[in-house]
Structure 1
Amino acid sequence: MNARRLLAFGLAVLLAAAIGGGIWYSRGAVQLGQQQRIEAQQQVSARGLIGSEKEAFFSDPRVQAALAKHKVSVTVQKAGSRAIASGYDAKAFDFGFPSGAPAAAQLKAAAKAANVYNPFYTPIVLASWRPIADILVANGIASKQGDFYYVANLPALMQLAQGGKRWRDLKDSGAFATAKAVLPASTDVRTSNSAAMYLALASYIANGEQVVQSQAEVDQVLPLVAPLFLRQGFQESSSAGPFEDYLALGMGKAPLLVAYESQLVEYWLKHPDKAKGDMVVLYPKPTLYSKHVLVPYTPAGERVGQLLESDPELRQLAHAYGFRTGGDQHGPETWAGQGVKVPAQLVDVIDPPSQEWLERLIVGIEQRFK
């Protein structure tokens, strides 16, 4: 009798263990199964909503071929980064790929995404021209750092812009003695990340070189930073258009343009004959990095994010479009070998305000446009 009871007890223990193991296995299978099914498919098709500055990268046949090696194809639709975060239905896409960590944080929360990927980043710069940069050097606003780039004292430049100075008011301004205001041109801060990052920098300066992080600070800096955008006149909704104007129309249209480093580097890599011309880049001091953050909505989007972040061939192709990346080569080393020299590292770098406070700054300016 005791033996029977012992046998029954042992069988019960084994049955419970089997059931428990099955439950544990089932949970693990649920977590891994969907991703494994995606990877096992013959072809993964993903649709993404991206910032305009990445459109050429995804359209490149070399990028498409590199993705195809992993049985992945990608189609994209472009939009302003702020619109990506709040103006589109995530169900229509497999991933969102805005510029800027604040927009990505908002998008991640809205999409309830478990992971994000940070394959590319690029600093905010001022695209300019050698005669303009030399005027700024003569007035103590900038300093030359080699053949390709200058460093601009951002607080001093903001003081000129906020004080209503015109180029003809500056010392040694004969090359550009115009009535045009010393006012960096940007995209529309209501729609575009590059303008939002410029706002982050301007608000940092206006806030006594502190990141804005309260409503009191928002209220304090808005009267100082809003005119930097309101005085510009017409502004485009994404970064591609103003840069095309900068290239086509020259110094008269855009003496100083808020841009991404990637835009200038990409252009110089594709047009090496222009690399030693009058086009120059000024690195604001301080500056900030604009992170290009991929937020996946589906397993297909996850797969794209994984590949962009980890595949060496895709990272090299990103360098061809001026993006800095992780990995053994970050970008500047590759570009230097092709005659384009930029700082390998930037030291005086700040963080933008959190999404909450940056959005309040943008809304405050938006209300002043009306």
Structure 2
Amino acid sequence: MDGRKVAAPVLAACLLAAVGAAALYSNREVRQGQSQQAAIEEEQRQRADLRGVIGSEKEAFFADDRVKRALDQRGLTVAVEKAGSRAIANSYDPKRFDFGFPSGAPAAAQLKQAARANAVYTPFYTPIVVASWRPIAEILVANGIAQPMPGGQYTLDMKALLALSAKGTRWRELKGSAAFATGKGVLLASTDVRSSNSAAMYLALASYLANGEQVVQSNADVERVLAQVAPLFSRQGFQENSTAGPFEDYLALGMGKTPMLVAYESQLIEFWLKHPDKARGDMVMLYPQPTLYSKHVVVPYTATGHRLGQALEADPTLRSLAHEYGYRTAGERKGPELWRQRGIEVPDVLVDVVEPPSNEWLERMVRGIEQRSP
């Protein structure tokens, strides 16, 4: 039998099967697209105004007209009030708000319990960093406490830095300190640990190191670390309640006022994206080793609060806009690769990352610090 006569019908059958499969796939794609469009149209018909309380660092994100339009496409109009993230966890009021949006998993866990929320949403996150200045970073490099990274940022040996703070070392006592030969102590500046998440994350990191590189999880651990961590806050003097104020001082007053500030990576990325000429200046980030991530968690109090959380997690436009404000997200594009295209080099992945204590033990440490304050 002629092989070509046998092959022809087989080839035709294969082609028909391929065409059929392509048509099926295409129809499925069309149906999925239609389903997604129908869901968006249904959301638009079910319009809702909602109110929430957010960490101050997210105020500009919600004020952005592009964010407002993207939320409007999903039928949501959002009004927000700002507060320190830990204060949010203590100010839950179901009569006033539809959601809380603090920074930090411990504060969110407390808020979730108070609100009896059956689900939470984590649309973006950011690592804790130290906002500093290149002359300061180079002094730390000269003393073996920091190391330069590709792209212009630095790693920071947190254990070594906190040891200097504990000894009361002054900047002028360090090797190569001519650029900052002051009598100020080598001490990180932070917000008020009683109200702000960034300070609470600093406490979480300092307590981990003071506890022999173990997460605090007992009364014995709390008692063991308090004597070491309390002075890191009490020696600072006045501290503000949220992250926005100290960061503005850092930008406006320079290293004389704030040589080192506990901050969020997102704050510096956002600033550099808006002021690209500053990205190669003296402002630098020091990535603590170890460090931890601050998760930004939407805790819904109402059905419309759930809709907001779902939109922030799932909507690609909102994720892209979050990158504009320096946040890392899930999804195919997470942030660092986009920032690199804009001339901002940061690590894609941080390896030396620890978890904060549960809210119970963090609260006990905060109360202990408060009791030891003058």
* Aligned 8 A contact 2:215 2:355 in 1: yes
**Corresponding residue SS for 2:119:** coil
CA shift digits 1:218-257 (9 cap, x unpaired) = 0010010000000000000000000000000001000000
The within-5 A match list for 1:263-278 is 263-278=267-282
Give runs of ≥4 in structure 1 deviating > 4 Å.
Answer: none
Give the match for residue 210 of structure 1: 214
CA shift digits 1:277-324 (9 cap, x unpaired) = 000000000000000000000011000000000000000000000000
Instruction: Tell me, yes or no, if structure 1 residue 285 matches structure 2 residue 289.
Output: yes
Give the match for residue 13 of structure 1: none
Distance 1:201 1:67, change over 3 A: same
Give the match for residue 98 of structure 2: 94
**Corresponding residue SS for 1:258:** strand
**Corresponding residue SS for 1:179:** coil
The within-5 A match list for 1:1-370 is 39=43, 41-370=45-374
Q: Distance in 2 between matches of 1:199 and 1:215?
A: 16
* Aligned 8 A contact 2:44 2:73 in 1: no
**Corresponding residue SS for 1:92:** coil
Q: Distance in 1 between matches of 2:228 and 2:178?
A: 29
CA shift digits 1:132-156 (9 cap, x unpaired) = 0000000000000023310000100
1:46 CA displacement: 1.1
CA shift digits 1:197-226 (9 cap, x unpaired) = 000000001001110000001001001000
Q: Distance in 2 between matches of 1:308 and 1:116?
A: 12
Identity, in percent, stands at 68
Task: State which drifts further: 82-91 or 295-304.
Answer: 82-91
**Corresponding residue SS for 2:328:** coil
Q: Distance in 2 between matches of 1:40 and 1:139?
A: 59
**Alignment gaps of 5+ in structure 2:** 1-38
1:54 CA displacement: 0.3
- Partner amino acid for 1:113? A
- Partner amino acid for 1:229? F
**Corresponding residue SS for 2:256:** coil
Q: What count of residue pairs does the alignment treat as equivalent?
A: 336
TM-score, length of structure 1 as denominator length: 0.89
- Partner amino acid for 2:165? A
**Corresponding residue SS for 1:87:** coil
1:58 CA displacement: 0.2
Task: State which drifts further: 327-336 or 86-95.
Answer: 86-95
1:40 CA displacement: 6.5
Give the match for residue 29 of structure 1: none
* Aligned 8 A contact 1:147 1:276 in 2: no
1:369 CA displacement: 2.3
Q: Distance in 1 between matches of 2:44 and 2:269?
A: 38
1:42 CA displacement: 4.2
1:39 CA displacement: 3.6
Q: Distance in 1 between matches of 2:305 and 2:92?
A: 16
Q: Distance in 1 between matches of 2:78 and 2:99?
A: 10
Q: Distance in 2 between matches of 1:194 and 1:42?
A: 37
CA shift digits 1:15-65 (9 cap, x unpaired) = xxxxxxxxxxxxxxxxxxxx99x9474421111110000000000000001
- Partner amino acid for 1:352? P
**Corresponding residue SS for 2:233:** helix
* Aligned 8 A contact 2:44 2:75 in 1: no
* Aligned 8 A contact 2:126 2:295 in 1: yes
* Aligned 8 A contact 2:188 2:262 in 1: yes
**Corresponding residue SS for 1:143:** strand
* Aligned 8 A contact 1:96 1:295 in 2: yes
- Partner amino acid for 2:306? E
Structural RMSD (CA): 1.5
* Aligned 8 A contact 1:51 1:79 in 2: yes
Give the match for residue 4 of structure 2: none
- Partner amino acid for 1:86? N
* Aligned 8 A contact 2:51 2:78 in 1: yes
